[in-house]
Amino acid sequence: MIIYIDMDDVLCNFSGEHAKALAKNPSITFPQSQYGFYQKLPPLEGAIETMKELYLSNEYTPYILTAPSTRNPFSYTEKRVWVEERLGYSFVERLIICPNKGLLKGDILVDDNNSGRGQEHFEGKLIHFGTSQFPNWAAVRQNLNLKNK
Ligand SMILES: [Mg+2]
């Protein structure tokens, strides 16, 4: 099964760092457009371990599917660097940066948004991350039949 995993607020804590940056320096309205913002995002708990496990599983073929911050050219490079630093080069070859997620063929999409970047046109199943049904990676792992540790 092809499974796509979103980056911001699924693999990495975008909202948390965004709120922190705004609190620290309110005059910078779009902290995400600052050089280094994307590269420094901390991973969410359980995300890295689950990606590595999915990579090795016989059942799933994981890809990272992230929409770019189109007004921020750094975001493209920084997402690529983040993936290599946190997940290794094998996942760089599984990184898709695409503004319309509905164009991709696959079985499952794990995303914190169910619309806006083509998620509403994705033909497979949506695991809506961050909702009461899938609040965290432990819940997603259970749904994917991966053992919780
Ligand atoms: Mg997201």
pLDDT value at position 147? 78
What is the tens place of the pLDDT at every residue in 111-136? 999 999 999 999 999 999 999 999 99
pLDDT value at position 22? 93
Determine whether 8 is an active site residue.
yes
97 backbone dihedrals φ, ψ, rounded to 5°:
-105, 110
Q: What is the pTM of this model?
A: 0.95
CA of 141 to the centre of ligand 1 (A): 18
pLDDT value at position 120? 98
Q: What distance in Å separates the CA atoms of residue 19 and residue 40, rounded to the nearest whole number?
A: 14
CA of 132 to the centre of ligand 1 (A): 16
CA of 36 to the centre of ligand 1 (A): 18
CA angle 131, 74, 93 (to 5 degrees): 70
Determine whether 111 is an active site residue.
no
For 2-143, which CATH class?
Answer: alpha beta
pLDDT value at position 149? 60
What is the tens place of the pLDDT at every residue in 42-95? 999 999 999 999 999 999 999 999 999 998 999 999 999 999 999 999 999 999
Label residue 2 by pLDDT band (50, 70, 90).
very high
Mean pLDDT computed over every residue of the chain = 96
